Structure formats: C-alpha cells, structure tokens
Amino acid sequence: MPSNKSVSDAPIVQFTNCRILRSHQLQREDLWVREGKILNPEKLFFDEKGSADIQVDCKDSIIAPGFIDVQINGGFGVDFSLATDDFKSGIDLVSQKILSHGVTSFCPTLVTSPPSVYHQVLPQISIRNGGAHGAGILGAHLEGPFISKEKKGAHPEHCLRTFEAGAFQDLLATYGSLDCVRIVTLAPEMKRSSEVIRELTKQGICVSLGHSVANLSQAEEAVQHGATFITHLFNAMLPFHHRDPGIVGLLTSDKIPAGRRVFYGMISDGIHTNPAALRIAHRAHPKGLVLVTDAIAGMGLAPGRHTLGQQVVEIDGLNTYIAGTKTLSGSVATMDTCVRHFQEATGCSVETALEAASLHPAQLLGIEHKKGTLNYDSDADFLMLNDGLYVQATYIAGEEVWRQDALGM
C-alpha cells in the first residue's frame, strides 16, 4: 500500500458505515479526518496516494456537525452571571458536561448585571478551542443591561441602563472590555442605539435585538445599521400585531439590506414557544432559525431554587420562574432535546433540525468556513446520532470526547 505520509505524519481516520450531513442532505459516504480537519478523500487518493490508518465502524449512525449554543446562561449549578472566585472551574464544568448534549462550541451568556460583575467575569472568559476538556468557547453573549424595562423578563430592573450622551463609551464603561465578547443583545428603540450598533458591528461583534418594545421600523433601522440576530423570538418582545408586527416582522421584512440575512434564536423546549408559533416562524424564515437552549444554572439539577444572575429562580419540571412569580426565566432544556422537539413540532427533515443547531449559528457568527458543516478542510467537530437524534458520541477536532455507554443506549 502506498505510504500516506507524503504530506503529514498524522494518522488518517476513516469513519465508515454512516450517513453524513453535507450540503443539506444525509449522504451515505465515509468521513475522513486528519489533524483535526475533514479531508477530501479524492485529494488523499489521487494527490497523496494515501489510505486510512484507522477505520471506525459507525454502525449506520448519522454523522452531523457539532451543535453550537449561542445562548446559555450556565448549567449544573454554575451561573455565568455570578462573579465567583472559582468562575473558571465553573465554566470548565459546564463546557465538559454539555459534550453529552452534542454541544461542541458555545457562547457563555451573561444576563443583565451590575458593572462590577462584568468587570470581574469577562476577563475570566477566554476564547478557546474545544477538546477532551470540554466544548470550545466562541466568546461571551452579553444579554443586557441596555434593554427595555417593560420587557425585562427575568432581568433585574435595578441593573438596567440607558445610553447617555457618549453612548458607546457608556457601553464600554459598563462592560469594561469587549475583548472576548461575541454577541450583545440590546433594545433597538433606546435612544442612541444606532451608533452603538454601528460601532459594535464595526468591531466584529454580533448585535442581537431583544427584551424590547421596538416597532417594526425601529427593528428594520437596527438591521440597516448592522444588527443580524433576534434574541429568543416571541419572548420578551411585543406580541405580533397585524398592523405593526414589531421585531417578529423582521422575518418577512422587505427592508433587509441585500445580501444580509437576519437570524433568530428560538428556545424549542415546548414551554417558551407554543409549537404552532415555532411552526409559523420556521415556515416564514427557515434559513434564519437558530436553536438556543437559554439554559440556566438549574439545567441538569433537581427541581427547586437556583440562581440566574441577581435573581432567584424556581424550577418546576421543565418550567423555570422568577421565584414567587410566573415570569419565565431561561430554560433547563438541553440542546439535543431542543433539536428533537423542533423536528417533532415542525415536521421538518432531520437535516433541517440538525442544521438549526449547527450550520445556522455558525453562519450567524461568520464561522461557517470552519464550524457547523462537514465540508472539506472544516474543523472535525461532529456527532454520531441514532435515527431518533439521540447523541451517541461527540468528537472535537476528530477526537472522541464523549460516548454514551452501552447501558445508556
């Protein structure tokens, strides 16, 4: 057999007997991996005269790109909005545990907090690749405090802020640093928000619209200034009205700049959004739908009292409320559960459900050349799933980082 060492000494792994999600379709072909990247087998055969060093029988599994969660507030008792001495060990614990949900990259999310919390927490979040230690960190998602009092949801009112004369400077003073920030959720109807959106966009930060009473024209103006995302569609915004559909109207707006796509997050846990509303959004704008968990510290824990930033929340089954109220406060759903519920609720294809948790968030963040697909030369972050879309194994950079034990299958 000709040597395959002409280009690299790294072993070539061939995953066989599988259906790969590529180009929006499940295709029955093998997946080839070397040095953490997905290989083009034709180049391997014809240019390098190479062959596999290791073969893995996938036993007819689906192989899909790893899930990317762009809105997760914590889990397993860890709250990203609490400044603690062991914050780093907390973020490490969550990144390790979510591997079993199929999440290979995520944006740790902070809800509205006092400036002191941002100043303490943000320097402790570093963008890093995933691996056996846990899912990769793509940067922080800062949800608030520049949001609407009327639609604050689970965010503490005393911490909300408005933009004053030096709007962008206000934001910088509040957060302390934007070094590791990937997404900022704000209410676009706030005075001076346009200049903030323009400046954040210029710095490569994704601006999301949410916790807002904006009408459609205010939302369209925000998109024209660079906003590209909607935070948990339908939740914490004006309800759809036929004369002014508000932020929801962006899904079918004809005022979106050419070549731009507006994405929208949905918490597909069966609680935050009625299945009919999920279907309406998906049918109106399928290519923009991004599944998010909006998971809080109580994810993975028993029902009872937990925290969400400055607030105390109560978990009752899959419902999470601000303690003593019926105000929803994040979710305890896992990403794989959200994917299965979305597919069941909408009747969409398996491919569509999987791409809503992988390709679409990657496109939103502008990283689809390396994450969210199984295209050649992209990162070998992928999942093995059974036909019921239950995760059987999680791989990052071509290495197995989690596997369902035989008893649990």
- Asked whether residue 61 is marked as a ligand-binding residue, the answer is no
Q: How far apart are CA 372 and CA 102, in angstroms?
A: 12
Q: Which two tokens stand for residue 57?
A: 């029988």
Angle (deg, nearest 10), helices 193-202 and 216-224: 30
Total residues belonging to the chain: 409
- Asked whether residue 165 is marked as a ligand-binding residue, the answer is no
- Asked whether residue 243 is marked as a ligand-binding residue, the answer is yes
**Going by DSSP bridges, is the β-strand pair 382-385/54-65 parallel, antiparallel, or unpaired?**
antiparallel
Q: How far apart are CA 267 and CA 44, in angstroms?
A: 41
Q: How far apart are CA 334 and CA 352, in angstroms?
A: 18
- Asked whether residue 274 is marked as a ligand-binding residue, the answer is no
Residue 85 designated active-site = no
Q: How far apart are CA 248 and CA 45, in angstroms?
A: 50
- Asked whether residue 272 is marked as a ligand-binding residue, the answer is yes
Q: How far apart are CA 390 and CA 2, in angstroms?
A: 39
- Asked whether residue 154 is marked as a ligand-binding residue, the answer is yes
Marked catalytic residue, from 79, 269, 294, 336: 294
Contact assessment for residue 139 and residue 109, using Cβ atoms and an 8 Å cutoff:
no
Query: Hey, how many other C-beta atoms are within 10 angstroms of the C-beta on 115?
Result: 14
Query: Hey, how many other C-beta atoms are within 10 angstroms of the C-beta on 275?
Result: 14
Residue 164 CA from chain centroid, whole number: 31
Opening angle at CA 270, ends 267 and 275, nearest 5: 95
Q: Which two tokens stand for residue 272?
A: 């935050």
Opening angle at CA 327, ends 326 and 332, nearest 5: 100
Q: How far apart are CA 145 and CA 156, in angstroms?
A: 9
Q: Which two tokens stand for residue 59?
A: 């036993």
- Asked whether residue 235 is marked as a ligand-binding residue, the answer is yes
- Asked whether residue 236 is marked as a ligand-binding residue, the answer is yes
- Asked whether residue 101 is marked as a ligand-binding residue, the answer is no
Residue list, annotated binding site for substrate: 154, 235-236, 243, 272, 328-330
Q: Show which residues are catalytic.
A: 294
Residue list, annotated binding site for Zn(2+): 143, 211, 232
Residue list, annotated binding site: 143, 154, 211, 232, 235-236, 243, 272, 328-330
